[in-house]
Amino acid sequence: QKVVQAAGRVIRGPQDEGVVVLMDDRFQRSEVRRLLPAWWRL
């Protein structure tokens, strides 16, 4: 949840664009990735 909240600081409105880089190895695991929003492209 904290990752999604941090990304919200980059992307505030529907017209905004940004890049969030997830550098922690745990984000490679499918059981962790499934907790992220479906609209995120990984």
Q: What is the pLDDT of residue 7?
A: 84
Q: What is the 3-state secondary structure (H, E, C) of the chain?
A: CHHHHHHHHHCCCCCCCCCCCCCCHHHHCHHHHCCCCCCCCC
Domain boundaries, the chain: 2-33
Q: What is the pLDDT of residue 28?
A: 92
Please state the length of the chain: 42
One-letter amino acid at 30 equals: S
**Per-residue pLDDT tens digits for 1-39:** 888 888 888 888 888 888 889 999 999 999 999 999 888
- Closest by Cα among 15, 16, 11, 42 to 29: 42
**Per-residue pLDDT tens digits for 4-14:** 888 888 888 88
- Alpha-carbon distance 12 to 27, whole Å? 23
